[in-house]
Structure 1
């Protein structure tokens, strides 16, 4: 049996629950995205949801299920660094969107209650190698079509009320993409999301200076609250700009215990953000950073990681006039930790790995591109000890590919999340089978009365 067919047969026959016996993938080209680098003709052993061994001379446990990859590429499961997967399905249909609080709540907003394990996009994303994702809310509901890039979170400030001073979109959470599992959340309160630049200026009344003043005031209020909770509970002390819920949510941010993801585009705005982070002692991550290449050395010196869309190469707004196809390569060469994002709603199914391939075509080293969609997103959100690379002790999130995973025509032939074999079906494949033209003269179920 061919390796692809064998892997498919195994994945189709495996139960949804974790197997009691170990699983060994043999004769594989393993891209570990870890200290072991690329391993040829190697073996990977999974057991109890974990990777227990990987290498060229690994003993296979007695009774293990064996998959002969016959040279196929094996990688860690892909990790979406920032997305609305599972909390937003159709951008222009408000009833399908749980990715923002609509301006009524800011930092306290947690999208966990809106995660839909039955969202069709989750199965589609999984079939393209995605095994984990970090959901990052957007500040309001735009609905005005004024997006810097399709499915992006930028220019969403229109959802704010005029008197709503908060620029915070809410909290990030991590989900796995396990099939037939009602609760996908594996990390809560992963970080905080903040809008900056044009969208923040709009929320603050039209000026970047105003948004910066508001932001500094909110951070000062949070520090005052953290040091004076007793006074606050008594109704004493100074007036604070945001609600207690927002204050509580922001305490870990001002204490440097929780990363602050900042959506920002222009080089000048990035400089302002770097200055703010230094003054306020914040741990920050940048999303967007279309002009990041212009300040690459400054980002590297500040040790600030970035999440970028490598297809964002057109000057769609004034803050992205300097966008560049070599953004990833220039940032990487300067020493910046780069993660690559795909479509926020993951309707463009191959986008994250195609974006990684685009970065390779414009100078980013291949191994760096793989890390940008696996290990680096895990590092950003503090879960790199658990996922993101193929190393003993980490969760067995593993994908076997039909070819180069950064090639658009390649696809997974088997997918494991926490050691559990995943179904190789989705809403799309089910619809395709339902409406497939008949060749035997028997009407398909969809056409029967």
Structure 2
């Protein structure tokens, strides 16, 4: 049994224990076993981080790391399959390069879990995955290989297909194609069910509609790319029609309709905020949106959409939301426990609690308040993957243990 003890840090647990001054964390075999004060062990590694800021590994709930790789030509971008507007059968797990430098940038800056999405060129783009940020094989890094189906409304699918003289060329067509896909998936599920009940042949296998069954029965959500308020309401309208579980991704104009969003109760993944207003949909982009939604009780995560915003700037995005009125502790929740809950992996990550995986980030200061704070140590599954001193040697040693 391997043991490790982190001692004397200021623990922002983001869980039931709240903030623990001069706290200790005992880790056994990659799992948090105890959180408290004055914990002692007879054997194992002890890291005294006196005065340091200790928090759960940060989580970016929406990015394209490993698909839209950094430092390479856009011609080999694997995030969008732009030959068919409906591709729910695509799995991002099959396109992710774990050696993309974005993963390294993430764990070297205290970010330990990512929600990785296909791009937004298609109306129905494919399957989300949730990944740890350290490793060299996606099968071992994955927490959840099918965490939802990505859907896009608004400008992106229109600009990809409409400009080529194909459907969709309007928002009406985008919504119609999404409805048609959902209706056909419902019909496919009904035919499979009736075949089982009546002991007859099932319908011919259709990989697209097979992939949609988990959405239709409510097992996983549609994660819907929406920026404008009218597109947000279209997403909600369709969710009601089909009794779907959804997450609103981007939600740029959410501050305009915050009261109505609070009534609807859907979670929101906001961002990227630290970018230019590169298209019409983004003209109302503001870091004030997180505060407006959070104060109305909406569950909010802040994301980078990396590489749109470099993944390492996730805490800076949270800090800029604080600058515009978001409570600081709530901002920390937006990059830890909230995205864990939205991604439905909060039983494993997102807070420092007994029984959870030891994904821990140690900083010289509060990373959302102090732009000069440094990542002293990052741990994933109880393995140190980054440490300020001798970091290359530590990474090589720990990689052998994965």
Q: Which TM-score band applies after superposition, normalised by the shorter structure?
A: 0.7 to 0.9
Q: Distance in 1 between matches of 2:384 and 2:324?
A: 35
Deviations for 1:302-330, whole angstroms, at most 9, x for unmatched residues? 21111112626865433333333311100
Asked if structure 2 preserves the Cα contact closer than 8 Å seen for 1:310 and 1:325, the reply is no
Cα RMSD over matched residues? 2.4
Q: Distance in 2 between matches of 1:267 and 1:295?
A: 7
Please give the residue correspondences for 1:336-375 in structure 2 after superposition, counting only pairs within 5 Å.
Answer: 336-345=298-307, 348-375=310-337
Q: Distance in 1 between matches of 2:355 and 2:264?
A: 31
Please give the residue correspondences for 1:224-263 in structure 2 after superposition, counting only pairs within 5 Å.
Answer: 224-229=187-192, 230=195, 233=202, 244-263=206-225
Q: 1:191 maps to which residue?
A: 148
Q: 1:26 maps to which residue?
A: 7
More moved, 359-368 vs 298-307: 298-307
Asked if structure 1 preserves the Cα contact closer than 8 Å seen for 2:222 and 2:244, the reply is yes
Q: 1:171 maps to which residue?
A: 127
Q: Which has the larger radius of gyration?
A: 1
1:376 aligns to what SS in structure 2?
A: helix
Q: How many angstroms does 1:367 deviate by?
A: 1.1
- Of residues 291, 303, 316, the one that matches 2:253 is 291
| TM-score, scaled to structure 2 | 0.87
Q: Distance in 1 between matches of 2:279 and 2:136?
A: 42
Please give the residue correspondences for 1:406-421 in structure 2 after superposition, counting only pairs within 5 Å.
Answer: 406=368, 407-421=370-384
Q: 2:400 maps to which residue?
A: none
| Runs ≥4 residues deviating over 6 A | none
Q: How many residues align?
A: 376
Deviations for 1:203-244, whole angstroms, at most 9, x for unmatched residues? 443211121122111111111100102488456xxxxxxx81
Q: How many angstroms does 1:275 deviate by?
A: 1.8
Asked if structure 1 preserves the Cα contact closer than 8 Å seen for 2:215 and 2:222, the reply is yes
| TM-score, scaled to structure 1 | 0.78
Deviations for 1:18-57, whole angstroms, at most 9, x for unmatched residues? xx43111111100001121111111111111111111235
Asked if structure 2 preserves the Cα contact closer than 8 Å seen for 1:401 and 1:413, the reply is yes
Q: 1:439 maps to which residue?
A: none
2:27 aligned with 1:70: no
Asked if structure 1 preserves the Cα contact closer than 8 Å seen for 2:274 and 2:309, the reply is no
Please give the residue correspondences for 1:8-407 in structure 2 after superposition, counting only pairs within 5 Å.
Answer: 20-56=1-37, 59-90=39-70, 93-94=73-74, 96-104=76-84, 106-139=87-120, 156=121, 167-179=123-135, 183-202=140-159, 203=161, 204-229=167-192, 230=195, 233=202, 244-309=206-271, 311=273, 315-345=277-307, 348-406=310-368, 407=370
Q: Distance in 1 between matches of 2:149 and 2:71?
A: 22
Q: Distance in 2 between matches of 1:89 and 1:416?
A: 24
Gaps of 5+ in 2: 162-166, 394-402
Q: Distance in 1 between matches of 2:270 and 2:201?
A: 40
Q: Distance in 2 between matches of 1:232 and 1:95?
A: 44
Deviations for 1:160-218, whole angstroms, at most 9, x for unmatched residues? xxxxxxx1110001111224556322211111100011224444432111211221111
From the superposition, tell whether residues 61 and 91 of structure 1 become closer, same or farther in structure 2 (CA, over 3 Å).
closer
Q: Distance in 2 between matches of 1:414 and 1:89?
A: 25
2:262 aligns to what SS in structure 1?
A: helix
Gaps of 5+ in 1: 1-19, 140-155, 158-166, 236-242, 431-449
